[in-house]
Structure 1
Amino acid sequence: MRINPETVDRIKQSADIVEVVGDFVSLKKKGANYSACCPFHNEKTPSFNVNPVRQIYKCFGCGAAGDSIKFIMDIDGVGYGEALRYLADKYQIEIEEEEVTDEEAARQNARDSLYIILNYAKNYYQQQLTENEEGQAIGLSYFRERGFTKDILNKFELGYSLEQWDGLTKSALAKGYSAEVIEKAGLLIHKEGSRSSGYDRFRGRVIFPIHSVAGKVIAFGARILKADKSQPKYLNSPETEVYHKGEVLYGIFQAKNAIRQQESCYLVEGYTDVLSLHQAGIENVVASSGTALTVEQIKLIARFTSNITILYDGDIAGVKAALRGLDLVLEEGLNVNVVLFPDGDDPDSYVRKVGAETFKTYIRSASQDFIAFKTKTLLQDAGNDPFKRAEVISEMVQSIVKIPDAIKRQVFFQRTADMMGVDEQMLISEGNKYIRKQQKQKPAERGRNPGFQQDLQDAGVGSPSHPFEDGPPPNLFDPGFEESAPASQTRSPLYFQEEAFIRLLVLHGCRELEPDITVCSYVLGEIDGIEFEEPIFAQLLLLFRENHSRNIVLETDYFVHHRDADIRNLAIEWVTEKYELSSLWKDKFEIFVPFETDVLDKTAFINILRLKKAFVENKMNICLQQLKQGSYEADEIALMKEFIFYKGISMAAAKELGRVVG
């Protein structure tokens, strides 16, 4: 089935880009728009822009752009239809569908079927917990003994799997689900060598559904309650098309709003830690579910806050093992604090022992920044052994130089030097050594951050007495330097003039220069006979010409929401302002800078001249190339006359533009 066009229009009209993006990213007001660090690529400085007027988003770093539907497709890795269904559910719009071909249905249902069977399994497990005698006696009793209320059970959709070989599978097959889909979702395990006989993955366990950021059930965690050394205490879903363990945090769906509001995230280890803190009113908490923290999980937290506090239990051995992995958090630019609980306690047991308010007070008093915590922990191990203390210095320097912010690095060098009783310059020198070692490696193996080495030098880690071995950094202010756009080096002047011309049409074609004379009618009337070389610009020019011949002037929104992704992305790039002019110029210095709309007549005239000049100069180059190839004398005379004709037009245009012509 396909969602009919009328329903799609209602969804598009109802979806607010700020609300939709705000569910996944922490947005901050910036003038008329909103900004954030891009959720689609690694960055430290916000370059992700949301325009509530146009209902679009644009990232100036990676180029991601689109509307609410495209955002859901990209952020959750789903198709167009599934993104529409997500938005329809969010805005409580009833979906009306129409028939689709078998091939379209197969493509659409491949991923949807996994979500459907996982949701069915979640409902099944919930029902067994509350309605089945075994589930009530074992599963529900366990949750009640832990002090979890009905609200928490419902909020996290907890359940129970019966002590049966194929209880879920039989139930799902009876409802018409295929064994293949059940297996692909990680719920069914086939017996070795058999494709017809199998058993449920989860049996005799309490069930913790794992949700995506959007709230869909994508996997399960399950805890066994009986003493059985042959079985693992916890069992998780395997990797599937919709579940990648290293990219998910337990409780992120339930916690994301609280994390954004409080601008802080608590990271714990287990499912019950999350449940207990939520029950205590502390909702900005997620769990890594016992896995080593990954870059993807850190980026997931960074969508909502740059402040993370890691809550460890009292097992100091486990803490030491995790210290190295936390350097990843520093690399991603997050502010990291650490809290260590008394021996024998974890977040779950401690909050139940002391209550919510005392727990919060303890968190505030016991919290310390990661660098100080790591330094103190390693120094305690090293004691007075000079060799071990030297190793501590090396390890701490390697952590500090991974911090992308230059000012923070400098502060941590000073504090670490004080804690260790060593000279700060000595730590900086160690930092230089580490940098030079990194530079000798292949580029792909170096630091993750753009401008990494230069930032370190700016912060005092690199110094004139220790220059970088690969020579000075590139001069970013040199007009000849292009950081990441080698393609632009091969583009002709004509390309840029075609782009400027089409950009003016897309953004301001409907505006009137004089009564009944739009920008579109004026500029199109001035370029008769000119055809564009760049295919996408030629396509857009044709659209304007065809519609103008019917007395229709296409508006900006037509292109911003165009079905062609290339046209849509280009239009979004043009309408999105990367920078906003500060009011300081006007208010304090009384300098008035005109906007493009204030000088449209002049801009349109100049664009026409520049386009014609670039167009005829391109023709001149063609003439010269043909002359170089050699030909009959009559042809050469004709080519020279053609060249002189174009040269005259070029000189006239240059004169109008105020340029000196040689």
Structure 2
Amino acid sequence: MRLTKDTIDQIQQSIDVVEVISDFVSLKRKGHYYSGCCPFHNEKTPSFTVTPAKGIYKCFGCGKGGDAIQFIMEHEGASYVEAMAYMAKKYNIEIKEEELSEEQNFEQSEKDSMLVVTNYASQYYTDQLWNSEDGKSIGLSYFKERGFREETIKKFELGYSHDQWDGFTKNAIEKGYKTEFLTKTGLSIERDNANENSEKKFFDRFRGRVMFPIHNVAGRVTAFGARILKADKTQAKYLNSIESVIYHKSKILYGLFQAKQAIRKEEECLLVEGYTDVISLHQSGVENVVASSGTSLTEDQIKLVKRYTPNITILYDGDAAGLKASLRGVDLILQQDMNVSIVVFPQGEDPDSYVQKIGPTAFKDYIKSNKKDFISFKTEISLKEIGNDPIKRAEVIKDIVESISKVPDAIKRSVFFRECSKLLEIDEQILISEYNKKAIQKGNQEAKKWEEDRHALAELQAIPDIELPDDIVRLSIEEESLKLHERDMMRYLINYASSPMEQEMPLSDYLIHELQDVEFKNPAYDYIIKKIIDTRLNGNTVLHTDFLQQDQPQYVRDAAIDLLSTKFQLSDNWEKFQIDVPKEIDVLNSVVPKTVLRLKRVILKCMMRDNIKEIERIQKDGSNEELMHLLQVAMELKTISKDIDKTLGIVVG
């Protein structure tokens, strides 16, 4: 299935790029555009801009850019279809789909096919929970014993898998789902056959378990966690889906899809360990909570949280041994310049049991009153363990300094040094000196690595036969000039294609006529000009949005965003003080013809350079006839070049 063209058109016409991005980034209006801190990389000075008139965003720090659909795909890790579904839901547009042909079905991406399978599996397990005898008597009873209400069970799409060898797999195959994708998602396992000629057989991975669907940030089911209900020491208590194209455990947080709006609202993310902790807290009204699913936090998971808030509070149960092991991974959060706090529950309690024991109001109060910043907490818990041992005390001090050194912000580091000096009963300057020593060591290591890389590059450039990357190969002056003039020409074309030139001719038609003999060296520009020619030949209007669509090559979309974006904007003060500044669109008649001539002039310079090289070659081992022809070409190129110089008012010494 795929979205109909009418549905896609309706969604695209409804999108307000500022409205969409404002759900994720705090934007401030600045004249004709909006600005904010980029959500795709760490920055303190805003370099992320949104231009509503063009329907695009662009970060001049990390280079990411696109339209609203591309933003959702990048920010939420969503596919194109998921991004369109998100927009349809946001703007209350009914999604209409059409059947794919057999050939189109074959071409559908592996990722999409796997997501279709996991979505079906989620529906299957949910149906078994609510509508089968075993599901109701075993699975539903378990969830209700845990205190989960029916609306909570439905909210998280919890399910049940029968204790059968191939119940799900057999049903899925009968429905037409391919075994290739059933096994790639890990929902089914191929049985080993002794006889290679015998028919392949498959069985279910999850049997006799309650099912916890794991959603990506866009709400699509990508995997499952499953808990066994019978006492069987030969099987793991919890079983997860295998890693796949659509599921990487280190890049997903359980409950983030359900929690992201609450995290933004509360400006804080609570991190717990298990599925039931998340579900129980949600049911109690504490919805800004996610789970790491029993693993130490990874850098990718931390970045996921940072999209929504810089504040993270980790909720630990009273297990001291587990707590000490978990603290080792928190330095990663500090490196991302996030504010980390720790809350520990009484011995024997976890978030699930404690919220049910004291209620949601008292639970929230407990978190507020027992929250401690990570550095202070780590210092206190480390001191309790070492007692009066001076050697261990020195090791703790070094460990604390190591954690503080991970904090990028200098002011935060200063505050932590002051607080820790009191807790550790040591002079603050000693802590700072230890930090400086580590910083110098790190700087020396980075300098050494840079020097090694520089030598490696020099050796690479010294090898004559090796093909260097494009950004290392040195371009000639003519090639550099051509590169800039091509970009300037295309910038006018893509921004003002429909603007009128002389005799009301659209700028696109004027440039098509003027550039008919010009071949653009940049492949993206060559693609764009050919696409524009086809559009005009078919009698259609050229729109810059044509080059931002997902069916266009990525290199073309990137080039279009670059051409549509401008880093500099006129200050509002010009308008405020009524100073008339001509806008680019108002001077196209005078500027564009000169830009065309400058492009042709640099193309001529490249041709003249190549002609001279060819003459030098022919003089050595060529015929007089070839030489006379090349000399004639040289004279003609020089004459044309002089005419262009004269028109542009360029005097060549």
For Structure 1 versus Structure 2, the TM-score category normalised by the shorter chain is 0.7 to 0.9
Aligned residue number for residue 261 of structure 1? 265
Structure 1, residues 33-90: CA drift from partner, whole Å, max 9, x if none?
5566666667776655444443344444554444455456556767656665665677
CA drift at 1:153:
0.8
Aligned residue number for residue 395 of structure 1? 399
Is 1:93 the counterpart of 2:94? The answer is yes
Is 1:235 the counterpart of 2:239? The answer is yes
Q: C-alpha distance in 1, partners of 2:137/2:232? A: 19
Q: 1:79·1:108 contact (CA, 8 Å) conserved in 2?
A: no
**2:293 is matched with which residue: 253, 277, 289?**
289
Aligned residue number for residue 462 of structure 2? none
Partner of 1:292, secondary structure, is coil
Q: Provide closer, same or farther for how the CA distance between residues 398 and 623 of structure 1 changes in structure 2, counting only shifts above 3 A.
A: same
1:501-520 matches, cutoff 5 A: 501-512=489-500, 516=504, 518-520=506-508
Aligned residue number for residue 639 of structure 2? 645
Q: 2:159·2:211 contact (CA, 8 Å) conserved in 1?
A: yes
Q: Provide closer, same or farther for how the CA distance between residues 629 and 189 of structure 1 changes in structure 2, counting only shifts above 3 A.
A: closer
Q: C-alpha distance in 2, partners of 1:386/1:494? A: 69
1:133-532 matches, cutoff 5 A: 133-193=133-193, 196-197=200-201, 199-439=203-443, 441=445, 486=472, 491-512=479-500, 516=504, 518-520=506-508, 531-532=519-520
Q: C-alpha distance in 2, partners of 1:414/1:642? A: 77
CA drift at 1:257:
1.3
Aligned residue number for residue 570 of structure 1? 559
Q: 2:214·2:221 contact (CA, 8 Å) conserved in 1?
A: yes
Q: C-alpha distance in 2, partners of 1:528/1:133? A: 74
Aligned residue number for residue 458 of structure 1? none
Q: C-alpha distance in 2, partners of 1:343/1:17? A: 49
CA drift at 1:4:
4.6
Q: 1:270·1:289 contact (CA, 8 Å) conserved in 2?
A: yes
Q: C-alpha distance in 2, partners of 1:502/1:601? A: 16
Identity %: 47
CA drift at 1:368:
2.0
Aligned residue number for residue 464 of structure 2? none
**1:610 is matched with which residue: 571, 584, 598?**
598
Q: Name whichever of 507-516 and 351-360 sits farther off.
A: 507-516
CA drift at 1:163:
3.5
Q: Name whichever of 513-522 and 293-302 sits farther off.
A: 513-522
Aligned residue number for residue 116 of structure 1? 116
Q: 1:610·1:653 contact (CA, 8 Å) conserved in 2?
A: no
Q: 2:490·2:563 contact (CA, 8 Å) conserved in 1?
A: no
CA drift at 1:298:
1.1
Q: C-alpha distance in 2, partners of 1:469/1:124? A: 56
Q: Name whichever of 157-166 and 241-250 sits farther off.
A: 157-166
CA drift at 1:290:
0.5
CA drift at 1:143:
2.2
CA drift at 1:247:
1.1
Q: C-alpha distance in 1, partners of 2:134/2:174? A: 21
CA drift at 1:255:
0.7
CA drift at 1:430:
2.7
CA drift at 1:505:
1.7
Q: C-alpha distance in 2, partners of 1:593/1:66? A: 29
Letter in 2 for 1:502: M
CA drift at 1:567:
3.0
Letter in 2 for 1:557: T
Structure 1, residues 403-461: CA drift from partner, whole Å, max 9, x if none?
33344334434443444344444334333433344355578999xxxxxxxxxxxxxxx
Aligned residue number for residue 27 of structure 2? 28
Q: C-alpha distance in 1, partners of 2:440/2:452? A: 7
Q: 1:88·1:95 contact (CA, 8 Å) conserved in 2?
A: no
Q: CA RMSD in A?
A: 4.0
CA drift at 1:526:
6.3
Q: 1:310·1:336 contact (CA, 8 Å) conserved in 2?
A: yes
Q: 2:263·2:288 contact (CA, 8 Å) conserved in 1?
A: yes
Q: C-alpha distance in 2, partners of 1:149/1:283? A: 15
Q: Provide closer, same or farther for how the CA distance between residues 641 and 470 of structure 1 changes in structure 2, counting only shifts above 3 A.
A: closer
Partner of 1:249, secondary structure, is coil
Q: C-alpha distance in 1, partners of 2:370/2:563? A: 50
Q: C-alpha distance in 2, partners of 1:647/1:571? A: 31
Q: 2:491·2:564 contact (CA, 8 Å) conserved in 1?
A: no
Aligned residue number for residue 477 of structure 1? none
CA drift at 1:275:
1.1
Unmatched 5+ stretches in structure 2: 455-469
Q: C-alpha distance in 2, partners of 1:221/1:353? A: 26
Q: Provide closer, same or farther for how the CA distance between residues 17 and 324 of structure 1 changes in structure 2, counting only shifts above 3 A.
A: same
TM-score, normalization: structure 2? 0.82
Q: C-alpha distance in 2, partners of 1:655/1:500? A: 19
Letter in 2 for 1:185: T
Q: Provide closer, same or farther for how the CA distance between residues 621 and 169 of structure 1 changes in structure 2, counting only shifts above 3 A.
A: closer
Structure 1, residues 135-180: CA drift from partner, whole Å, max 9, x if none?
3333333322322211111101112333444443344345444555
Unmatched 5+ stretches in structure 1: 447-467, 472-483
Q: Provide closer, same or farther for how the CA distance between residues 370 and 135 of structure 1 changes in structure 2, counting only shifts above 3 A.
A: same
Q: C-alpha distance in 1, partners of 2:575/2:2? A: 53
1:31-70 matches, cutoff 5 A: 31=30, 47-70=47-70
Q: C-alpha distance in 2, partners of 1:422/1:627? A: 80
Q: C-alpha distance in 2, partners of 1:523/1:502? A: 10
Q: 2:80·2:550 contact (CA, 8 Å) conserved in 1?
A: no
Partner of 2:328, secondary structure, is helix
Partner of 2:123, secondary structure, is helix
Q: 2:11·2:88 contact (CA, 8 Å) conserved in 1?
A: yes
Q: Name whichever of 492-501 and 195-204 sits farther off.
A: 195-204
CA drift at 1:494:
1.5
Q: 1:2·1:100 contact (CA, 8 Å) conserved in 2?
A: no
Q: C-alpha distance in 2, partners of 1:415/1:9? A: 58
Q: 1:29·1:35 contact (CA, 8 Å) conserved in 2?
A: yes
1:588-607 matches, cutoff 5 A: 595-597=583-585, 599-601=587-589, 603-604=591-592, 606-607=594-595
CA drift at 1:390:
2.5
Letter in 2 for 1:378: S
Partner of 1:314, secondary structure, is coil
Q: Provide closer, same or farther for how the CA distance between residues 177 and 391 of structure 1 changes in structure 2, counting only shifts above 3 A.
A: same
Q: 1:3·1:98 contact (CA, 8 Å) conserved in 2?
A: no
CA drift at 1:95:
2.5
Q: C-alpha distance in 1, partners of 2:306/2:475? A: 35
Q: Provide closer, same or farther for how the CA distance between residues 592 and 223 of structure 1 changes in structure 2, counting only shifts above 3 A.
A: farther
Letter in 1 for 2:639: F
Letter in 2 for 1:182: L
Aligned residue number for residue 622 of structure 1? 610
Q: Name whichever of 515-524 and 251-260 sits farther off.
A: 515-524
Q: Provide closer, same or farther for how the CA distance between residues 229 and 155 of structure 1 changes in structure 2, counting only shifts above 3 A.
A: same
Q: Provide closer, same or farther for how the CA distance between residues 212 and 80 of structure 1 changes in structure 2, counting only shifts above 3 A.
A: closer
Q: C-alpha distance in 2, partners of 1:521/1:133? A: 70
